[in-house]
Amino acid sequence: MGVDAIRAAFEDGAAFIPYLAAGDPGGDLSNSTPESAMAATADYVSALVDAGADVVELGLPFSEPIADGPTIQSATVRALQAGMTPPRYLELVESLDVDVPIVAMTYYNPIYRYGERDGVGPFVEAAAAAGVDGLIIPDLPVEESAPLERACREHDVALIFIAAPTTREDRLRAIMQRGTGYLYVQARLGTTGASRSVSDQTKHTLDRIAAYEASERHARLPKAVGFGISTGEQAATVVGAGADGVIVGSALVDIVAEGEDVVASLEELGRELKAGARAGFDRRTQ
């Protein structure tokens, strides 16, 4: 596993990457224990993998999720209330019985504070051991990422950066050069959250990245688009516009929050999304 496994997950050109908040017990907190919440997450992950997920992003909840919209904020609150902690998170990852890469998405402070000494080393080491293949840290721009890059390189964990619609050439260059695994292309400005339409910005950003890639010689990084994708049709549009995969979070988290037939519903939406991504790929390569 590790960085290569993530690259491999993009082989069919239309990766489906679901996001779930780890340990989110869903709507009804009253009967949940940390163990039951973790077990539920494990079931949901399996369902999504069954539906065709190529990579799974698992959120490690942080109390100040500044990059997240209301849906994922609420999931974060629920997960924390249900008892999710970094050690339990790693336990959960270790317990997963799936053969797709797992990417941990969290903020800088919990990984900085993990373990006996300050600094990101202890977390990355433990995460790699538990089976985490990559990291996404939305509040970590390239300016601050050197220590984490070092630790990730040492433990063969991908460090996935985000490219935003506001990211200009010089920053894009740094992000492309320093990121590993895949490039998280933020579909639109704002925070995470499902939206009705995929913005023109997405296509524009993908084109800019493609142009940049064409002008450089280093290895190509898969581009997965996230922020606001919730339907198969959107997935198709995005992949059709040049993405190598789609990241879907809030729409799935909503299903967990509602708490009814979660496994079946996740599987259903997962299939739709994977199918959509494939359809988009077909459209583009026809």
Partner 1 sequence: MSGGQYGRFGGQYVPEALMPAIDELTDAYQRYVLENEAGFMDDLAERLETFGGRPTPLQYADQLSDRYDIDVYLKREDLLHGGAHKLNNALGQVLLARYMGKERIIAETGAGQHGTATTMACAHLGMPCEVYMGRRDVNRQRPNVFRMRLNGASVTPVDIGRGTLKEAISETMRDWAGSVETTHYVIGSVVGPHPYPDLVREFQSVIGSEARDQCLEKLGELPDAVVACAGGGSNAMGTYDAFLEDESVDLYAVEAGGDSLEIDREAGVAPNSATLSTGTEGVLHGSRTKVLQDDDGQIMESHSVSSGLDYAGVGPELAHLAEEGRLAATPVDDEAALAAFHRLSQLEGIIPALETAHAFGFLEERGDDLGDTAVITVSGRGDKDLESVIEESFKRDLPEAPDLSLFTTDQGGR
Residues taking part in catalysis: 57, 68
Token pair in block for residue 193: 């959250």
141 binds partner 1 per the rule CB under 8 A: yes
Query: How many angstroms separate the CA atoms of 230 and 12, rounded?
Result: 21
Phi-psi region of 90 (alpha: psi -120 to 50; beta: other; left: phi over 0): alpha
Q: Which of 32, 41, 71, 167 binds partner 1 (CB under 8 A)?
A: 167
Q: Give the nearer residue to partner 1 in terms of CB position, either 146 or 264.
A: 146
Q: Which of 13, 108, 233, 271 binds partner 1 (CB under 8 A)?
A: 108
62 binds partner 1 per the rule CB under 8 A: yes
Q: What count of other Cβ atoms lies within 10 Å of the Cβ of residue 218?
A: 8
34 binds partner 1 per the rule CB under 8 A: no
Q: Which of 36, 173, 190, 213 binds partner 1 (CB under 8 A)?
A: 190
Q: Give the nearer residue to partner 1 in terms of CB position, either 112 or 212.
A: 112
Q: Give the nearer residue to partner 1 in terms of CB position, either 13 or 34.
A: 34
Q: Which of 8, 11, 29, 63 binds partner 1 (CB under 8 A)?
A: 63
180 binds partner 1 per the rule CB under 8 A: no
